[in-house]
Amino acid sequence: MFIQTLITEPIHFFRIVVIVIFSITLHELAHGWAAMSQGDNTPQQTGHLTLNPVVHMGKESIIFLCLMGIAWGQMPVNPSKFRSGKLGNILVSAAGPLSNLALGILFTVLLKLFNVSGLLSVEFLYLAARINFTLFLFNLLPIPPLDGFHVFSEIFPQLKPLQYTQFGLFAMMLLFIIPGFGRGIGGIADLFIRSALSM
């Protein structure tokens, strides 16, 4: 279990917790800001336009993060208020993963800059970039309730009925059972970082 890292590698443990909480909070805020730009004021009405991670993740998610290393967030939106239903849903759904992509790029740029100066921890910056690229890739998977499903189901409407079945739960469980799935996505994230650093 991830909580064991607190004993074996406490600095690494707290780095991951801080980075994941920060990244998920901005991920959910990106959904909220995109929804507001599409005419939906639900995020503001529900008090979700805040940097408070407890609002976006909930205590259960934060506790689960510390125990298992897995977390989630939520941003209430009302697609019926979007000015353009299909395009609005794509933009709002894609905003979260794209925020993680932007954070991954930002941390990679900082890693390249401060790797020379030594002002910031190279390990922290690399971990932050890796986690955000991983969140970007994972959330784009076309599996409900992930953001990628909402994007792809607008492009391929025949996928929409899947959100009302147990397919998403089954697929998510299967992903975590498949040996090497997490390492595979992490490996792609590493490839992104190494490619950027070599440029």
Which residues form the catalytic set?
Answer: 28
Cα gap 92→106, rounded to integer Å? 21
Listed residue (12, 10, 19) closest to 110, CA to CA: 19
Alpha helices in 9-143 (DSSP H): 10-37, 42-45, 53-68, 85-117, 122-139
DSSP letter for 71, please.
-
- What's the token pair of residue 42? 């639900």
Produce one character per residue of 54-85: b if its CB has 16 or more CB atoms within 10 Å, e if not.
Answer: ebbbeeebbebbbeebebebebebebeebeee
**Both structure tokens of 189:** 């994230």
Q: Any idea which residue has 């990244």 for tokens?
A: 23
Output the CA–CA distances (angstroms, integers) from residue 110 to 107, 128, 143, in the order listed: 5, 10, 32
